[in-house]
Structure 1
Amino acid sequence: MTKVDLPVRRAAGRLRALLHGDGGMTTAEYAMGTVAAVAFASLLFEIVTGGTIKEALTGLIERSLEGGGV
């Protein structure tokens, strides 16, 4: 192995590490994203099924079925 080969091998190793990344890190990121999405969905579900929104949506549907009077 020549003196030139070692820096080339090191650079190739660094490039591979950058391109492939750390598998554990992406798994943790997916887990955190999933937890955040579930929390957001739960919040939206609570808002939509709450009394005020439910009444507004029911009224909108009833008016549209009756002919659309505002």
Structure 2
Amino acid sequence: MLFRTKPAGRHAAPSRARWWRRWFRPLVATDDGMSTAEYAIGTIAAAAFAALLYSVVTGDSVVAALTGLVQQALTASF
């Protein structure tokens, strides 16, 4: 006779030692209202980063560097 193993995965019977997970997880895992706050903070951070990037890219030194780089690439001899 082959050894019988306990079923694994979701078909396995719950262990008696893990009863607290079923009780404790809903208390910890509730995210009521969290997704809205996270989206708001992410949107504000993205807008602030975009404003900072725009101010850096439109600065005189960056525009001059990019213009020089494009002119050098167009006048390069092969």
| TM-score normalised by length of structure 1 | 0.68
Q: How does 1:1-70 map to 2 (within 5 A)?
A: 12-19=22-29, 21-67=30-76
Structure 1: any 5+ residue segments left out of the alignment? 1-7
Identity %: 44
Q: Alignment RMSD, CA only?
A: 2.1
Cα distance, 1:13 vs. partner? 4.2
Aligned partners of 2:50, 2:67: CA distance in 1, in Å?
21
- Unmatched tracts of structure 2, length 5 or more: 1-18
Q: How many residues align?
A: 59
**TM-score (normalised: structure 2):** 0.62
| Separation (CA, whole Å) in 2 of partners of 1:23 and 1:62 | 55
> Alpha-carbon deviation of 1:14?
2.8
Larger Rg: 2
Q: Relative contact order (alpha carbons < 8 A, sep ≥ 6): 1 or 2 greater?
A: 1
Runs of 4 or more above 4 Å deviation: none
The answer to which structure has the higher helix fraction is 1
